Amino acid sequence: MEPHKKNEEVCLSITDIGTGGEGIGHLEDGYTLFVQGALPGDEIRAHIVKAEKKYGYGKLMSVINPSPDRIVPACPIADRCGGCQIAALSYEAQLKLKENRVRELLVRVGGFSHEHIDGIFEAVRGMDLKDAGDVPVRFRNKAQYPVGTDREGNIITGFYAVHSHRIVPADDCLIGPESDAPILGIIKEFMHSNNISAYDETTHKGIVRHVLIRTGFATGQIQVCIVINADSLPHSDALVGRLSEFPGIETIVTSSNTGTGNVILGDDFKVLYGTGYITDRIGDVSFRISPLSFYQVNPAQTVKLYEKALEYAALTGTETVWDLYCGIGTISLFLARRAGMVYGVESVKQAVDDAVENAKINGMENVRFMYGRAEEVLPEYYESASEDQKNPDPSLHPDVIVVDPPRKGCDAACLDTMLKMAPERIVYVSCDPATLARDLKILCGSGDYELTKVSCTDMFVSSVHVETVVSLRRSLEKG
């Protein structure tokens, strides 16, 4: 392979896409180039801006021959905003790309054969479209807008550019609800007229850092959370006066975050208006959601995702089930309606409190929620319970374990205890196929479990992220 140098101009075909949405292609000698903004199927000219021995990074100079799947995105800032990396691909091509990524990782990282995966892969479920050729918009119920100041000193809100903390101003995000823009407008106006500064990361000065807006699509209830670099927001009464009149705003809170890191929310919340939480419904189950609690971002697809998890759990009404990484108990309550008993584990206190309340709201008594990390709670629970051979405790050897971890996947200690608990079925819900594949290798590599079904649900339209649910069955010879 030829060594390549910075500032070289090259032409290449893009064949793949990376986890950050960057196009990936190879030069004739095999040298790999990562090019932001280039899409699979494009033939491009790029300028090498950073060259390592075997790979480098290129700046997209021009698209010589566009991919047949390229479209003009509806969003005017799609090429600058870091939020939607594949907005310029047709929806069909987006879905194909996600499916292929999951297949490829299950084979390469998970160690499964192509034939096995082909035999059990269900069609990816995209969003329902009004017209073929559409890319869905306005599907997301939550956004976190960084607040800053432009060169002229105006307060701006928007989204971070790719790989940076430079704010691309955006008053209306096309994937979020239309009500976000006027809410941000009120907050900017309030800051302007009360002389409240936006936070500046470089100097660590200024007050307002982020605005989080979450909207219950079923109930219309809106939660506004203002993240501040202070203990309290000056003149907050004036803001509450204006925002509380806005249709749907149910609660307004501040989150105090005086740290210098990238974490958005601080731990200290103050309720300025309402109760602090909103309520939403998924199907006919109601959920209370606090600002720190996780809640799936695409309501139309969440129902499909949970139905798939429920289908794979194959419950008849009597089973004992664990729901690890349970958040506010969404999957737990869906399961509880068809199970004997459900145990949920979650590491965010506000979310566990929400989960307990949610069981009450929906009148479900066959659930128990535990606060803590799954990799600590589960082993401790398992080890501390003494086994009584005559009277086996079903919670130690459940019928089903459902896991839905964050992107980093399950901790080894958690997987290890799951194997010891030896449930008949494991349902793994994953937002990162790379860690899913890694964890499946552990669960199936031991020969204890067989991967029996894989399905993807598109929760994150126009982004490279993909949600996968898989079903594992305890191997017959182990049963």
Task: Just list the catalytic residues.
Answer: 431
Q: Which stretch binds ligand SAH (CB under 6 A): 53-61, 198-206, 237-245, 339-347?
A: 339-347
Q: Is 374 in the site for ligand SAH (CB under 6 A)?
A: yes
Q: Is 349 in the site for ligand SAH (CB under 6 A)?
A: no
Q: Is 141 in the site for ligand SAH (CB under 6 A)?
A: no
> Which CB, 184 or 410, lies closer to ligand SAH?
410
> Which CB, 184 or 335, lies closer to ligand SAH?
335
In angstroms, give the least distance from the CB of 351 to ligand SAH: 5
In angstroms, give the least distance from the CB of 352 to ligand SAH: 9
Q: Is 459 in the site for ligand SAH (CB under 6 A)?
A: no
Among 91, 159, 325, 460, binds ligand SAH (CB under 6 A): 325
In angstroms, give the least distance from the CB of 147 to ligand SAH: 25
Among 327, 398, 409, 423, binds ligand SAH (CB under 6 A): 327
Among all residues, whose Cβ is closest to ligand SAH? 327
In angstroms, give the least distance from the CB of 428 to ligand SAH: 12
SS (H, E, C) the chain: CCCCCCCCEEEEEEEEECCCCCEEEECCCCCEEEECCCCCCCEEEEEEEEECCCEEEEEEEEEEECCCCECCCCCCCCCCECCCCCCCECHHHHHHHHHHHHHHHHHHCCCCCHHHHHHHECCCECCCCCCCCCCCCCCCCEEEEEEEECCCCCEEEEEEECCCCCEEECCCCCCCCCCHHHHHHHHHHHHHHCCCCECECCCCECCEEEEEEEECCCCCCEEEEEEECCCCCCCHHHHHHHHCCCCCEEEEEEEECCCCCCCCCCCEEEEEECCCCEEEEECCEEEEECCCCCCCCCHHHHHHHHHHHHHHHCCCCCCEEEEECCCCCHHHHHHHCCCCEEEEEECCHHHHHHHHHHHHHCCCCCEEEEECCHHHHHHHHHHHCCCCCCCCCCCCCCCEEEECCCCCCCCHHHHHHHHHHCCCEEEEEECCHHHHHHHHHHHHHCCCEEEEEEEEECCCCCCCCCEEEEEEEECHHHC
In angstroms, give the least distance from the CB of 146 to ligand SAH: 22
> Which CB, 236 or 455, lies closer to ligand SAH?
455
Q: Is 378 in the site for ligand SAH (CB under 6 A)?
A: no
Q: Is 296 in the site for ligand SAH (CB under 6 A)?
A: yes
> Which CB, 81 or 305, lies closer to ligand SAH?
305
> Which CB, 180 or 375, lies closer to ligand SAH?
375
Q: Is 436 in the site for ligand SAH (CB under 6 A)?
A: no
Q: Which stretch binds ligand SAH (CB under 6 A): 62-70, 121-129, 263-271, 294-302?
A: 294-302
Q: Is 331 in the site for ligand SAH (CB under 6 A)?
A: yes
Among 345, 400, 427, 454, binds ligand SAH (CB under 6 A): 345
Q: Which residues bind ligand SAH (CB under 6 A)?
A: 294-296, 325-327, 330-331, 345-348, 351, 373-375, 404-406
